[in-house]
Structure 1
Amino acid sequence: MSSALTDLCPHPIVQAPMAGGVSVPQLAAAVSEAGGLGFLAAGYKTADGVYQEIKQLRSLTARPFGVNLFMPQPEYPGASTGSTGAAGAAPIDAGAVDVYAHQLAGEAAWYETELGDPDSGRDDGYEAKLAVLLDNPVPVVSFHFGVPSRDVLDSLRRAGSLTLVTATTVEEALAVERAGADAVIVQGVEAGGHQGTHRDIQENDGSGIGLLALIAQVRETVSLPLVAAGGIMRGSQIAAVLAAGAAAAQLGTAFVATPESGAHTLHKQALTNPLFVRTELTRAFSGRPARGLVNRFLREHGPYAPAAYPEVHHLTSPLRKAAAKAGDAQGMALWAGQGHRMARELPAGQLVEVLAAELDAARAALSDRSSDRGEVR
């Protein structure tokens, strides 16, 4: 996989797939054209929407790219989904969702909108999107929120796609290896947006593992190549994760502020706005732990949001859209990693080039220091 990934992208830089409209074809194309690996996010889109974005991306670049899928969520603990996606998750408490909806009634009145239907579906059109990717193979397919079945991974491999699956613990990485994926995306707790945990357990909130520690633990246990994700904003950090044993680095927040990104202007500005001083893992917007900039909505509702994904996501979707339309960043989901203050408003292709230059400089400095120590001895 390391050599296969190198063949796909000269620079070991992967643009994270960010659902919700951030990872648009223009962003993925710019990253891939610059020698990184651009990604589309299939989450929250229809199967036809995914097909149209792939078609558009192919019109913008002939370079390799990837598509990310969300694993379907089971209807109840241990429910069979043809995968290990979220198996063992805590039962959804419909009563808790109703209570949260009641709490959000004031938000709906303020933004003059209705709350969404929490029962709008749990599989995110998974099977239909898989069919699109098997009929129209792409170079790389990645998965979030669980592990696909071996049959799915084998089918994608036969179609010519490399497969990557997110893991946030050693146990999850082992599950990825057993399923037969080509590589593991090791996601540290520093990462912005949703943690790709396979099991959504309430007690896991805030207790995740830092990226460098996670790479070391997974590297000693799993033989698959690793792609490191979580708070990476500079080439020197890419050098660090590569030295720790990763084959490539995946960056999300670093690309949010680029002009090609589909993120709302308020989201881009908030990354470096002194008003937003820190990030926090929260269930406030989706019912699953996700890291975002601390704003009013997160402070007021985060402590009370139930562990209910995607029910809470569906419930709050109209609120988030209304807040964005009203220009109110305090009601939006401002997903961001811990390194958000280091965001640079550079064109995506230029950002890849800068990161690659920083990576080369960091490696050269490390080599020089090693040589100096050798001379002293």
Structure 2
Amino acid sequence: MIKLKTAICNELNIQFPVIQAGMAGTATAALAAAVSSAGGLGTVGAAYMSPETIRNSIREIRDRTDKPFGVNLFCTKEQGSMAGFEKVQHVLNRFRKDLGMKETFDFEKPPQIFEEQFQVLIEEKVPVISTAFGLLPPDKMEQAKKAGSKVISMVTTVNEAIAAEKAGVDIIVAQGSDAGGHRGTFDIGAHPNGANVGTFSLVPQVVDHVTVPVVAAGGIMDGRGLIAALALGAAGVQLGTAFLISKESVAHPVYKKALSESTEESTVITKSFSGRPARGIKNTFIQEFEAAAEPLPFPVQNALTNDIRKAAAEKNRPEYMSLWAGQATRLLRSDEHAAQILENIMEEANQVLS
């Protein structure tokens, strides 16, 4: 098997230049450990986890592997407005009724727990801290470096990449609009639907404006995508959707089925579930909500829709679930272990170069 050692392999002490994205809700300790054990960098999506759960996940990974791994957090000061709450709740109650749930009109804003989450990463001395939606504040960056952690940040524009390098980030992930789920756009006010620059337009421009290693993300599923990214100057790739249907993924079975049946035409960028733009498979929730109301800002909208998404999963109703997915789903391989997915990518890369 080809080894393809690049700058991020040396920086992160990994065998292959492949990072598994820290997808909140689905990138658990089991998936992260499997990817890390296989030679990539596994990442726990800890943004919605309690500090205690994060600590337990870190320790679970260390029980499963002695390889490096990462933990991803949302790094944003967004508070969210309640303006328009009644109208949004009215629409959501239609969905609740269809799911056999009780209507609700009460709501409490989710607590801000970033400080506590981050402290766990410092105490546990995690090898890699990755951030989305923004950068670590200077004091947090200093703490991370003192703890011996490498810092990775997701960006969606060249200006964000330049800011990330100035802030002390070790590796930059350039996320194209092809990517599934939430991308790391810093300022949603300036880019209401995210900074929608395609992966292979974004990557070389970021590479030309920073000196730290750049990782390509968005619509990359196989060895061809890896080699293409390297040709554009990237030092590796970050994959999310590719690992969602792995055996280690905790994505719901109907979610995995929807992924395997989707195409490059299936996804849209929507704020309906969370209040932040995210790419997912278009379904009843997205269509009907967007026709009826404007979502509240993140994280309020995300908290408001949480009970619906959970109930939909319990009842096997994908039409009300957030089915995050990138644009290259025809390339997905179903029912494989994460290690096999990674091995296939590296073998395909070898074939491209041979």
Instruction: Note whether the superposition's TM-score is higher than 0.5.
Output: yes
- The one of 17, 37, 56 equivalent to 1:33 is 37
Match of 1:161 among 149, 161, 175: 149
- In structure 2, the residue matched to 1:97 is 85
- 2:180 partner letter: G
> Which of residues 16, 19, 42 in structure 2 aligns to 1:14?
19
Kindly indicate whether residue 49 of structure 2 is the aligned counterpart of residue 45 of structure 1.
yes
Distance 1:231 1:276, change over 3 A: closer
Task: Give the letter for the 1:210 counterpart.
Answer: G
Answer yes or no: is 1:331 the counterpart of 2:320.
Answer: yes
1:313 is the counterpart of 2:302: yes
Aligned counterpart, 1:255: 243
C-alpha contact (below 8 Å) 1:288/1:307 kept by paired residues: no
Distance 2:150 2:104 in 1: 39
Unaligned 5+ residue runs, structure 1? 76-91, 365-377
Cα deviation for residue 207 of structure 1 reads 5.7
Normalised to the residue count of structure 2, the TM-score between the two structures is: 0.92
What CA distance in whole angstroms lies between the structure 2 residues aligned with 1:130 and 1:116?
Answer: 33
Deviations 1:330-361 (A, max 9, x none): 11000000012221121111111111111122
Corresponding residue number in structure 2 for 1:343: 332
Q: Which runs of 5 or more residues in structure 2 are unaligned?
A: none
**Distance (Å, rounded) in 1 between the aligned partners of 2:263 and 2:168:** 45
Distance change >3 Å, CA 207–CA 285, structure 1 → 2:
same
Counterparts of 2:263 and 2:47, CA distance in 1: 30
Residue 282 (structure 2) aligns with: 294
Per-residue displacement from partner, 1:243-292 (whole Å, max 9, x unpaired)? 11111100000000101001001111111225995100001110100000
Question: CA RMSD, aligned part only?
Answer: 2.0
Q: CA separation of 1:242/1:4 partners in 2, compared to 1, >3 Å: closer, same or farther?
A: closer
Counterparts of 1:280 and 1:315, CA distance in 2 = 21
* Residue 347 (structure 2) pairs with residue 357 (structure 1): yes
Quickly say closer, same or farther: Cα 1:208–1:342, change in 2 above 3 A.
Answer: same
Report the Cα distance in structure 2 between the residues aligned to 1:348 and 1:116, rounded to whole angstroms.
42
Equivalents in 2 of 1:54, 1:116: separation in Å? Answer: 37
Distance of 1:19 and 1:302 partners within structure 2: 23
**Equivalent position amino acid for 1:357 in 2:** E
Cα distance in 2 for residues equivalent to 1:246 and 1:276: 24
1:89 maps to none
TM-score, structure 1 normalization: 0.87
Distance 1:104 1:64 in 2: 41
Q: Counterpart of 1:205 in structure 2: which amino acid?
A: N
Query: Given the alignment, which residue of 214, 229, 251 partners 1:226?
Result: 214
SS for the counterpart of 1:232 is: coil
Identity %: 38
Q: 1:110 aligns with which of 90, 94, 98?
A: 98
Q: Moved runs in structure 1, 4+ residues, more than 2 A?
A: 1-7, 72-75, 92-98, 112-123, 201-204, 274-277, 302-307
Alignment of 1:252-291 (within 5 A): 252-273=240-261, 277-291=265-279
Give the superposition deviation at 1:184: 0.9
Q: 2:265 touches 2:327 (CA, 8 Å); kept in 1? A: no
Cα distance, 1:97 vs structure 2: 3.1
Is the CA contact (8 Å cut-off) linking 1:153 and 1:180 kept in structure 2? yes
**CA–CA separation in structure 2 for the residues paired with 1:279 and 1:261:** 20
Native 8 Å contact 1:29 1:61 kept in 2: yes
Cα gap change, 1:29 to 1:172, in 2 (>3 Å) = same
Q: Which amino acid aligns with 1:316?
A: T
1:124-147 Cα offsets, whole Å, 9 max, x none, are x11111111111111111001111
